Structure 1
Amino acid sequence: MEILIKASQFILSLSLLIVLHELGHFIPAKLFKTRVEKFYLFFDYKFSLFKKKIGETVYGIGWIPLGGYVKIAGMIDESMDTEQMKQPAQPWEFRSKPAWQRLIIMLGGVFVNFVLGILIYIGLMWAYGEKYLPNESLKDGVWVQDQLGKDLGLETGDKILTIDGEKIEKFGELPLGFINGHNYTIERNGAVTEKVIPTDFISKLVDRGKDVGPFISPRLPFVIGQVPADSQNANAGFEKNDIFTHINGQPTKYIDQVETALNQNKGQSINIIVNRKGTSKNLIAKVTEEGKLDLYKTQLPYSDLEKLGYYSLAEKSYSFGEAIPAGANKAWTTLTNYIKQMKKIFNPSTGAYKGLGGFISIGSIFPSEFSWQTFWNITAFLSIMLGFMNLLPIPALDGGHVMFTLWEMITGKKPGDKFLEYAQITGFILLIALLLFANGNDLFRLFK
């Protein structure tokens, strides 16, 4: 059921983005009286799941869910209809239109993607606002949970101040900041230090896998989730949601402090004070030789932690007028972050190429429980991503056609049909190779 929910959201989002992207080409083509022969969601190699001709255009749904297309008369595109190009140019064909009209037609899809992303973010800001954990609310610093964080040069208790000179406002921005960044500053024991992010950080992050948990997180209290019946401390008096506050008289506000105390008292009995619904309880427990209590811990919602005084959450609401610049800024930040990631991918020394993913990776970012807020957030991100990818100057993408059209407008020389045909084939091969590599990465990680 979980896979079905994720897949349904992915298909719905992808279909919406493809149809609107192709409408971005379709509408200006019609405005400039250019014939559109096909308008397809997904590709229809050999046959279609559905098709219907209305006027001069065949509308349909293909069976290969790798995108979609509009077939514009007189244009070398995905259809590779070179026979049509051998005939004399007709007034309704793409190749007969002025360069500025062809440029607008080709930029239409990308324009729609960027505008759609901005509009969705504006709507989200207006409807939901923002609620987040401010980075400055972590008065006692971060919790470094594994070797990856230590390889970064972090220690539990560090306060992360800036990445690449920019102040980090939201704690949730830190992981992406380390992925895109080059250096950062921390405050440790009152001293401010600048550190360099290792070049191979992304490579190690990818190799580490997604199921290990975050490499840094807010410092959290040790909260009892469950007391197993076979635990040596089953009769010690622990109850669900007990919060550790002291061990042997020493304050243990956070999990890392509890773990340190347990390791110092392996195989011994210890005195524990817990906070139980606002009341302190004294308990005696036995520590295993491995430094454990044989108890399961849980994490309280940040709203509960806020009530307990651990953190102060920030919440912003926006009027419609305020949501416009906030949403536009969110879209711009999303785009610039994505460009930074692409730069890392094209730098082999970072190992970021190993994190490149295909349909499985994209589908996996959707939650297992449907939420309109999350769905639209992801759809806005994918729309921005799709717009940027299509703008790349690669033949077979919109950006490739734009590049050749701009060349014509600047030089006054139009590339020959044979050249455009070969360029389209080359671009198509490059895209297929990229598609195979990205989805191959998905399969490799899946089986690994």
Structure 2
Amino acid sequence: MEIVIKASQFILSLSLLIVLHELGHFIPAKIFKTRVEKFYLFFDYKFSIVKKKIGETVYGIGWIPLGGYVKISGMIDESMDTEQMALPPQPWEFRSKPAWQRLIIMLGGVIVNFILGIFIYIMLMYSYGENFLPNKNVKGGVWVQDSLGTSLGLKTGDKVLTIDGNEIRKFTNLPIEFINGNNYTIERDGEVIKKEIPIDFISKLIERGKNEGSFLLPRYPFMIGKISKDSPNVNGKLKVKDIVVGINGTPITYYDEAEAILKNYKNQEITVSVKRGNETKNLSVKTTASGALGVQLANLSVSDISKLGYYNLENIQYSFTEAIPAGLNKSWSTLTGYIKQLKKIFNPNTGAYKGLGGFISIGSIFPSEFSWQTFWNITAFLSIMLGFMNLLPIPALDGGHVVFTLWEMITGKKPGDKFLEYAQIIGFVLLITLLLFANGNDVYRWLFK
């Protein structure tokens, strides 16, 4: 059922983005009286799931869910209709239109993607506002759980101040900022320290696997979530939801502090202070051979920890006029963050290419329980990502066509049809290679990790 929910959201989001992107080409083509022969969601190689001709355009849904397209008369595109291009140009064809009209037609799709992403973020800010843990409110510093965090040079209790010179507003943004960044500063024991992010950090993160959780968390209180069956305290005085606040007279605030102290008391009887409701109780308990209480830490959300008084969350509600700049800022940070990730991918030393994913990776970012807020957040991100990717100057993408059109406008020389045909083939091969590599990565991770 989880797969069905994720897949349904992915298909809905992808379909919406494709249709609106292609409308971005379709509408200016119609305005400039350019004939559009086909308007398709997904590709229709050999046959279509459904199709209907209205006027001069065939509208349909293909069976290959790799995107969509509009087939514009007199244009060398993915259809590779060389027979049409061999005939004399007609007034209604793309190639007969002035360069500035062709440029607008080609830019229409990415413009729609960017506008859509911005619009969704504005409406999300207006509808839901922002509720987050400010990084500055994490007074106790970060909790470094495993070797990945220590490979960055972090220790539990460090306060992350800046990454690449920029202050981090939201604590939940720290992991992605470390992925995109090159250096950072921390406060450790009152001293400000600057460190470099290891070049192979992303490679280690990918090898670690996404099922191991975040490598960086705020420090947690020691609330008991479960008492293990083999615990020496299974029938003792400890109870679920007790918060350990002291061990043998030493006060503690966070779980990691308790973990370090307990290792000094192996197979012993000790006194722990626990907060139970509004009371604080001193209990006599036993430790295991490894120096633990035989309990599991409660699975607490940041909101849960905030309610316990450990952190102050920030809640911002926006009026519609206030949501506009907030949505624009969110769109800009999304775009710049994505560009930083692409730079990492094209640097082989980072190992980021190992994390390149296809449809399985994209589909997996949707939650297993449907939420409109999350759905629109992801759709806005994908819309901006799709807009930028289509702007890349690769033949077969909108950006490739834009480059050739700009060249014509600047030099006054129009590239020949044969040149455009060969460029389209090269671009198509590059895209298929990238598609195979990305989806191959997905299959490899699914089978072996």
Q: By the TM > 0.5 criterion, same fold?
A: yes
- Short-chain TM bin: over 0.9
Specify the code of the residue in structure 2 equivalent to 1:8: S
Q: Which moved more, 1:27-36 or 1:262-271?
A: 262-271
TM-score (ref. length: structure 2)? 0.98
Specify the code of the residue in structure 2 equivalent to 1:446: W
Q: How does 1:377-416 map to 2 (within 5 A)?
A: 377-416=377-416
Query: How far apart are the structure 1 equivalents of 2:284 and 2:44?
Result: 69
Query: How far apart are the structure 2 equivalents of 1:429 and 1:161?
Result: 45
Aligned to 2:87: 87
Q: Which runs of 5+ in 2 are unaligned?
A: none
Query: How far apart are the structure 1 equivalents of 2:76 and 2:303?
Result: 56
Shift of 1:230: 4.0
Query: Aligned with 2:288: secondary structure?
Result: coil
Query: How far apart are the structure 1 equivalents of 2:160 and 2:336?
Result: 22
Query: How far apart are the structure 2 equivalents of 1:269 and 1:362?
Result: 51
Aligned to 1:286: 286
Q: How does 1:356-371 map to 2 (within 5 A)?
A: 356-371=356-371
1:49 maps onto 2:49 in alignment? yes
Shift of 1:265: 1.0
Query: How far apart are the structure 1 equivalents of 2:37 and 2:285?
Result: 76
Q: Is the 8 A contact 1:99 1:409 kept in 2?
A: yes
Query: How far apart are the structure 2 equivalents of 1:291 and 1:18?
Result: 57
Query: How far apart are the structure 2 equivalents of 1:143 and 1:64?
Result: 45
Aligned to 1:342: 342
Specify the code of the residue in structure 2 equivalent to 1:440: G
Deviating 4+ runs (over 6 angstroms): none
Q: Is the 8 A contact 1:164 1:184 kept in 2?
A: yes
Specify the code of the residue in structure 2 equivalent to 1:233: N
Compute the RMSD of aligned alpha carbons. Answer: 1.0
Aligned to 1:191: 191
Q: Is the 8 A contact 1:226 1:240 kept in 2?
A: yes
Query: How far apart are the structure 2 equivalents of 1:318 and 1:260?
Result: 44
Query: How far apart are the structure 2 equivalents of 1:363 and 1:72?
Result: 30
Q: Is the 8 A contact 2:242 2:275 kept in 1?
A: yes
Q: Which moved more, 1:190-199 or 1:250-259?
A: 250-259
Q: Which moved more, 1:258-267 or 1:229-238?
A: 229-238
Q: How does 1:242-321 map to 2 (within 5 A)?
A: 242-321=242-321
Query: How far apart are the structure 2 equivalents of 1:350 and 1:307?
Result: 39
Query: How far apart are the structure 2 equivalents of 1:154 and 1:336?
Result: 25
> Aligned residue pairs: how many?
448
Query: How far apart are the structure 2 equivalents of 1:53 and 1:400?
Result: 30
Shift of 1:201: 0.7
Query: How far apart are the structure 1 equivalents of 2:270 and 2:397?
Result: 66
Aligned to 2:19: 19
Query: How far apart are the structure 2 equivalents of 1:419 and 1:267?
Result: 79
Shift of 1:98: 0.4
**Deviations 1:153-203 (Å, cap 9, x if unpaired)?**
100110100011111111011111111111110000101011111111111
Query: Aligned with 1:58: secondary structure?
Result: strand
Aligned to 1:96: 96
Q: Is the 8 A contact 1:407 1:413 kept in 2?
A: yes
**Deviations 1:109-154 (Å, cap 9, x if unpaired)?**
0000000000000000000000100101111111111111111110
Aligned to 2:443: 443
Shift of 1:271: 1.2
**Deviations 1:61-85 (Å, cap 9, x if unpaired)?**
0000000000000001111111110
Q: Which moved more, 1:254-263 or 1:32-41?
A: 254-263
Specify the code of the residue in structure 2 equivalent to 1:58: V
Aligned to 1:76: 76
Specify the code of the residue in structure 2 equivalent to 1:179: I
Shift of 1:262: 1.8
Shift of 1:308: 2.4
Query: Aligned with 1:211: secondary structure?
Result: helix
Q: Is the 8 A contact 1:236 1:283 kept in 2?
A: no
Query: How far apart are the structure 2 equivalents of 1:377 and 1:396?
Result: 28
Q: Is the 8 A contact 1:119 1:327 kept in 2?
A: yes
Q: Which moved more, 1:219-228 or 1:70-79?
A: 219-228
Q: Which runs of 5+ in 1 are unaligned?
A: none
Q: Is the 8 A contact 2:110 2:390 kept in 1?
A: yes
Q: Is the 8 A contact 1:354 1:441 kept in 2?
A: yes
Query: How far apart are the structure 2 equivalents of 1:261 and 1:174?
Result: 28
Query: Aligned with 2:437: secondary structure?
Result: helix
Aligned to 1:128: 128
Shift of 1:300: 2.6
Aligned to 1:8: 8
Specify the code of the residue in structure 2 equivalent to 1:219: R
Aligned to 2:37: 37
